[in-house]
Chains A and B, each alone.
Chain A
Amino acid sequence: MMEQSFFKRLEVGRPKLAAKARLQTDKVSGEPVLLYPEGVVLLNGPSAAITRLCDGTRSFATILAELAELYHTMPGELEADVSEYLFNLHQQALLEIAGEQESEL
């Protein structure tokens, strides 16, 4: 139920990493890492690529298109994995959906 309403919002809004979260490069491993209050997540390449595009200016469709170009595939191939990853971020209050109200009007 919660998942469905999230996907609806994702289609009309622009995903944005929450203000409390920060994506950076870990000095020790050289790998991307996501930091937020009391939390550390070491990310793999694709997760970091998705997270980087969640800047509040791109729609979900644009994010999929850019990722598809990066990974030489079709957006449809990536949709399920990307939306699941974003749903998990949202569940942890690490992702906001910007601009959905305007689109709904």
Chain B
Amino acid sequence: MTTSANQGRKQHYRPFGLLVEMTYRCPLHCPYCSNPVQAPAGGSELSTAEWQRVIQEASELGVLHVLFSGGEPLVRKDLPELVALAHACGMYTNLITSGVGLTRSRLQSLCDAGLDSIQISFQSDEAELADSLAGTRAHARKLAAAQLVREFKLPLTINVVLHRANIERLEQMIALAERLDAQRLELANTQYLGWAFLNKEALLPTRAQVELAQEIALTARERLRGKMEILYVLPDYFGQRPKPCMHGWGHRYLTINPLGEVMPCQTAAVIPELRFDSVREHSLAWIWHDSPAFQRFRGTEWMPEPCQSCSLREVDFGGCRCQAFLLTGDASRTDPVCQLAPDHQLLQDMVQEIHRQEPARIPALRLRVNPA
């Protein structure tokens, strides 16, 4: 490859966003957590010094946004130090938190470090339901944390994962976000990956619920335009075309898990054929540009039919690799959400089967447990 072609490739595949999973530890036990169901055995969390090196390397690679997440990132005492470094490197810093542990003094130190924005998750607008979904009494603390964030004049994003148990409270949840003076509201239908795949029978809403929710979300988006941004993530299993997952494999985003393994998305570890290289052994630039896992589904060459000859192949990138694996056992197949996919019927049958179940026979939610 010539130097200029190599340069071009480097600009084309450039990470804009880095998700930093600082720890798998979390005080909440949400049954749709995107953390792996089987946390990798052994290994230790990256140290402060290791994260510092990685954040610097990310900045050199062109990353513009760092999202500090987990688990619960506030569990790590060194969070302000790392935020300060990312800020000094000129990156936009976002904290993705449950809100539990976000005390006034903690928030003050994060503000001093140059934190740009905070996202707090809510399980519902209503304490009892919210706490039962989180598996702990967290709702009141989230409300207090959200108020603190606005008191400190930081931009607030509220994220709600939607599923059968809370989707009918959508209007109340939008009202809650307005009351809390959120600048952005993410209404994300559950993506059936990680713990959510395990709990899909209990989480999957009915078609009627999904249709009503969409209408409510889109109406609110128009009403609040210019004031509060509303992102409505479409429910995957009900769509006709797959989502452009991560805007393409190894294209714009990367995730580093607590052990230092670098992945194209936060759930990719579910794909058994992939081995993810660690920042403990390689530079971030090498992993991003050259490691086998990042090249495996990059671009369009890996695509099977009907993706390969599809005019939308660079619109949706063939959908989600993790979803293809979970539903078909083969990560290189077309995402079954796509109507054109050979496995679309398989997904339809599965959804129908779940909807046919009598509510009483739907298994109870399995709450996430912290890794040992």
A residues at B contact (CB < 8 Å): 2, 6, 18-20, 22, 24, 26-29, 33, 35-38, 40, 90-93
Contacts and interface: CB of A to CB of B under 8 A. Distances in A.
Nearest to B184: A37
Contacts of A20: 116-117, 155, 183
Contact of A93 (B11, B62, B153, B227): B227
Given A37-B183, A40-B16, A91 B225 contact: yes
A40 B65 CA distance: 8
Nearest to A96: B226
A35 B14 CA distance: 16
B118 to A, nearest CB: 9
Contacts of A93: 183-184, 225-229
A2 B119 CA distance: 29
A27 B59 contact: yes
B62 A37 contact: no
Given A90-B226, A91-B225, A28 B94 contact: no
Interface residues of B, number: 26
Given A93-B184, A93-B228, 16 more contacts: A18-B183, A19-B155, A20-B116, A20-B155, A24-B90, A27-B90, A35-B64, A35-B65, A35-B116, A37-B92, A37-B94, A37-B155, A37-B184, A38-B94, A40-B65, A91-B225
Contacts of B231: 38
Contacts, number: 61
11 contacts: A22-B92, A24-B90, A33-B64, A37-B116, A38-B65, A40-B17, A40-B64, A90-B226, A93-B183, A93-B225, A93-B226
Given A26-B64, A35-B64, A35-B65, A92 B155 contact: no
A22 B16 CA distance: 15
A18 B64 CA distance: 18
Contact of B226 (A24, A28, A91): A91
B121 interface: no
A74 B11 CA distance: 37
Interface in B8-54: 11, 14, 16-17
A37 B119 contact: yes
Contacts of A90: 226
Contacts of A29: 11
Interface string B152-165: 01010100000000
A72 B262 CA distance: 50
B269 to A, nearest CB: 23
A75 B226 CA distance: 26
A90 B231 CA distance: 16
Contacts of B92: 22, 35-37
Interface string B201-237: 0000000000000000000000001111101000000
A36 B17 CA distance: 12
